[in-house]
C-alpha cells in the first residue's frame, strides 16, 4: 500500500472553480502538476481513465461555444464521467424559466457537477449560492473564464519552462474580455509581469490597480514581452451604437500582428490566441500558423487542464 | 510511536540480490520480460532491482517503466486525503510481454489491483508476476498474491510498514511502526 505519500498531500482549497481570483498559487500549481499526468494519459493508445465513473456532469451552455464546450466534454469523457449537455438555444430557458429553476431541475436528475457558461457576469457565483453541486465557470459574461487562463498559463509554462518572471502582454479588447481578467489574475499569482495593450477605448480605467502595465503602442509592447496573447475583438459584447474604434481595418493596422512586425522584433516571442481567431484582424494567417505560435498547443492543453480541474474538484466531493 | 527494524541495510542488500537471482532464474535474458515499478514507493525498489540485474546480466537490455495506480483506485472520493497522481511512463507496448510488477509493501492488495488495471491500457501482457519487498500476511482484501517476496511479516492493522532508502537521505531499512 502506498499510503504514506498520500497523507502528505492536499487538494484544492475551493469547492467550485468560479474564478482565478479565488485560487491560491498552490491551487494553480496543483492543477498544473495533475494536468501533466493527464497529458500523458491523452498520449496513450487508450486515452481514458475510470476515476469519475460514478460522477455525472451537466454542461450548461447559455451562450454559444465550440472549443470550450468540446474541450470540457472530452475532458469529462476521458475521466469516464457521465455527461449531459444543454444548450440554451434549444431549451426551456426560451420559455421563461429562471436560471436557478433550470439548474435545480437538472440537479433533481442527480447531477454532481455543473459546467456553466452564461452571458451575465457573476452567474456562476450566483448559482454556487443556490445549489449544492460543484460548479465550474466556463465563462460568465465579461467577468472570468478561469479554465482558459489556466490553460494559457500552462501552455506558457510548457513552452518557456516556467511562468515566474516572464513578461506577458495581452493585446486587444481588454474591456470586454473575460479571458484578459482571468489571465491577469493567473499570471500575476504565478509571478509573471503583465502588460495590457490596446486602444484607450478598449482598456478599462484603473486597470493598473490589478498590477499591470498599460501600453498603447503595439510595437513597444511586443519589444517588451516574451509572450503576446492576442485577443479577439468581442463585437458581440460591445454596446450597439458605440464606436470603440473607427473601423476593423484601422484597428487591424494599429493593433494587428503580422509577419513583418513579428520578424522585425529584436527577439523571438511566443504568440498565443484563445480562439476563435479573426484571421487578418488581430493576427494574420502566417503568424497564426508560424512556429512562434502555440495556438494549437493551447487547445490541446485545454483538455488536460480541464481534466485536472474536474478531477480535483470531484475529489472534494465525498461519495455519499 | 514504537519502531522496530524489520530489515536492516545488510539484510536488504541480500534480499535484493536474492530476488534478482530468482528473476534471472525465471526470465533468463529478459528478452520478452519487462519490469514495471508501481508509483510512488515501488519505483525505488524497482530501480534497485534493475541496477542489481544490470550488474549480474550486463548484456541484457531490460525494458523498464513506471505506472501510477491513482486514476484506477477504488477509494477515489472515499479516501480522507486527496489522491494526487504521479507520473506514468511506459514507453513500450506490453502486448505479449511477461510483466514483473514491483511494489514495496503488499497490504490489502487494492493498490496492486488498481495498478493492474493501469497497465492493461498498454496492451495485453502474456503474464504478470508480482514482486514485493514486504508481504503483510493475512491482510489481503482481494485475491492477490506475490510470486517473489523479500520478507513476510505478521502485523496488526494499527501498524505501518515503512521502507526507507538511502536515496531519500536516510539509510536502507524497513521499519515496523506501531501507533
Q: Domain limits of chain A?
A: 10-144+301-315, 146-299
The SS3 assignment for B145 reads coil
Interface check for A7 against chain B (CB to CB < 8 A): the answer is yes
Burial bucket for residue A260 (CB in 10 Å: 0-12, 13-18, 19+):
exposed
Strand residues in chain B grouped as ranges (E) = 2-7, 33-38, 63-67, 98-106, 127-136, 148-153, 159-164, 173-178
The whole-angstrom separation of Cα B144 and Cα B49 is 22
Helix residue spans in B28-109 (DSSP H): 42-56
Task: Answer yes or no: do B42 and A45 touch at CB < 8 A.
Answer: no
Residues of A in contact with B123 (CB under 8 A): 45
Q: Please report how many Cα atoms fall inside a 13 Å half-sphere around the Cα of residue A120, on the Cβ side.
A: 8
CB pairs A-B closer than 8 Å: 84
- Tell me which residue in B40, B81, B121 faces A7 most closely, judged by beta carbons: B81
The whole-angstrom separation of Cα A270 and Cα A292 is 5
- Output the pLDDT for position A30: 95
Nine-digit cell string for A18: 468560479
Domain A146-299 fold: Rossmann fold (3.40.50)
Where chain B has pLDDT below 70, the residues are none
Nearest CA in chain B to A50: B72
Length, in residues, of chain A: 320
Task: Answer yes or no: do B82 and A10 touch at CB < 8 A.
Answer: yes
- Output the pLDDT for position A183: 97
Mean pLDDT, consecutive 10-residue stretches, chain A (320 aa), reads 45 94 96 95 90 93 90 96 84 73 82 93 92 93 96 97 97 94 97 96 94 96 97 81 86 94 96 92 94 95 97 85
The tens digit of pLDDT for each residue in B100-129 reads 999 999 999 999 999 999 999 899 999 999
- Tell me which residue in B83, B110, B117 faces A6 most closely, judged by beta carbons: B83
Same CATH fold assignment for domains A10-144+301-315 and A146-299: yes
C-alpha triplet A149, A155, A160: angle, nearest 5°: 125
DSSP letter for A129, please.
H
- Output the pLDDT for position A90: 63
CATH class of A10-144+301-315: alpha beta
- Tell me which residue in B72, B77, B123 faces A50 most closely, judged by beta carbons: B72
Nearest CA in chain A to B83: A6
- Output the pLDDT for position A9: 62
Which of B41, B44, B84 to probe the A interface (max A CBs under 10 A)? B84
The strand pair at A270-272 and A227-230 is best described as parallel
Q: Which domains does chain B have, with CATH numbers?
A: 10-17+32-70+87-155 (3.40.50.2020)
Of A314, A274, A272, A300, the C-alpha closest to A74 is A300
Note the ipTM here. 0.79
Mean residue pLDDT of chain B comes to 93
- Tell me which residue in B72, B106, B122 faces A49 most closely, judged by beta carbons: B72
Amino acid at each position: 500500500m502506498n499510503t504514506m505519500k498520500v497523507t502528505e498531500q492536499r487538494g484544492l482549497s475551493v469547492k467550485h472553480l468560479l474564478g482565478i481570483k479565488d485560487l491560491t498559487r498552490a491551487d494553480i500549481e496543483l492543477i498544473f502538476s495533475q494536468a501533466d499526468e493527464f497529458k500523458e494519459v491523452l498520449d496513450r493508445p487508450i486515452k481514458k481513465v475510470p476515476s469519475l465513473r460514478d460522477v455525472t456532469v451537466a454542461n450548461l451552455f447559455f451562450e454559444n461555444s465550440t472549443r470550450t464546450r468540446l474541450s470540457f466534454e472530452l475532458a469529462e469523457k476521458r475521466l469516464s464521467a457521465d455527461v449531459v449537455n444543454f444548450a440554451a438555444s434549444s431549451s426551456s430557458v426560451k420559455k421563461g424559466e429562471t436560471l436557478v429553476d433550470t439548474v435545480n431541475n437538472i440537479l433533481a436528475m442527480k447531477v454532481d457537477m455543473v459546467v456553466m457558461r452564461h452571458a451575465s457576469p457573476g452567474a456562476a457565483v450566483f448559482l454556487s449560492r443556490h445549489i449544492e453541486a460543484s460548479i465550474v465557470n466556463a465563462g460568465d459574461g465579461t467577468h472570468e473564464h478561469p479554465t482558459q487562463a489556466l490553460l494559457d498559463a500552462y501552455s506558457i509554462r510548457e513552452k518557456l519552462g516556467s511562468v515566474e518572471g516572464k513578461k506577458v502582454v495581452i493585446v486587444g479588447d481588454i474591456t470586454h474580455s473575460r479571458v484578459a481578467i482571468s489571465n491577469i489574475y493567473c499570471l500575476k499569482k504565478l509571478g509573471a509581469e503583465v502588460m495590457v495593450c490596446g486602444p484607450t477605448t478598449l482598456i478599462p480605467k484603473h486597470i493598473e490597480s490589478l498590477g499591470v502595465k498599460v501600453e498603447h503602442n503595439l510595437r513597444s509592447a511586443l519589444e517588451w514581452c516574451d509572450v503576446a496573447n492576442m485577443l479577439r475583438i468581442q463585437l458581440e459584447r460591445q454596446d450597439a451604437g458605440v464606436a470603440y474604434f473607427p473601423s476593423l481595418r484601422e484597428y487591424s493596422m494599429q493593433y494587428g500582428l503580422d509577419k513583418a512586425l513579428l520578424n522585425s522584433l529584436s527577439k523571438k516571442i511566443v504568440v498565443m490566441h484563445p480562439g476563435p481567431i479573426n484571421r487578418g484582424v488581430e493576427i494574420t494567417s502566417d503568424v497564426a500558423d508560424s512556429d512562434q505560435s502555440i495556438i494549437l498547443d493551447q487547445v490541446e492543453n485545454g483538455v488536460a487542464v480541464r481534466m485536472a480541474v474536474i478531477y480535483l474538484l470531484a475529489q472534494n466531493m465525498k461519495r455519499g | 510511536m514504537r519502531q522496530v527494524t524489520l530489515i536492516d541495510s545488510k539484510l536488504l542488500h541480500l534480499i535484493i540480490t536474492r530476488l534478482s537471482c530468482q528473476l534471472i532464474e525465471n526470465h533468463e535474458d529478459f528478452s520478452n520480460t519487462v519490469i514495471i515499478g508501481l508509483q510512488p514507493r515501488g519505483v525505488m525498489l524497482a530501480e534497485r532491482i534493475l541496477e542489481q540485474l544490470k550488474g549480474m546480466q550486463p548484456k541484457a537490455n531490460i525494458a523498464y517503466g513506471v505506472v501510477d495506480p491513482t486514476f484506477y483506485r477504488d477509494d477515489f472520493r472515499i479516501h480522507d486525503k486527496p489522491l494526487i497522481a504521479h507520473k506514468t511512463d511506459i514507453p513500450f507496448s506490453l502486448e505479449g510481454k511477461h510483466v514483473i510488477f514491483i511494489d514495496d509493501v503488499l497490504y490489502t492488495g487494492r493498490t496492486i489491483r488498481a495498478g493492474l488495471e493501469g497497465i492493461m491500457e498498454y496492451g495485453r501482457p502474456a503474464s504478470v508476476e508480482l514482486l514485493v519487498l514486504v508481504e503483510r500476511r493475512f491482510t489481503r482484501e482481494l485475491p492477490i498474491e506475490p510470486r517473489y517476496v523479500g520478507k513476510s511479516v505478521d502485523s496488526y492493522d494499527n501498524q505501518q510498514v515503512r521502507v526507507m532508502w538511502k536515496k531519500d537521505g536516510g539509510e536502507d531499512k524497513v521499519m515496523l511502526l506501531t501507533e
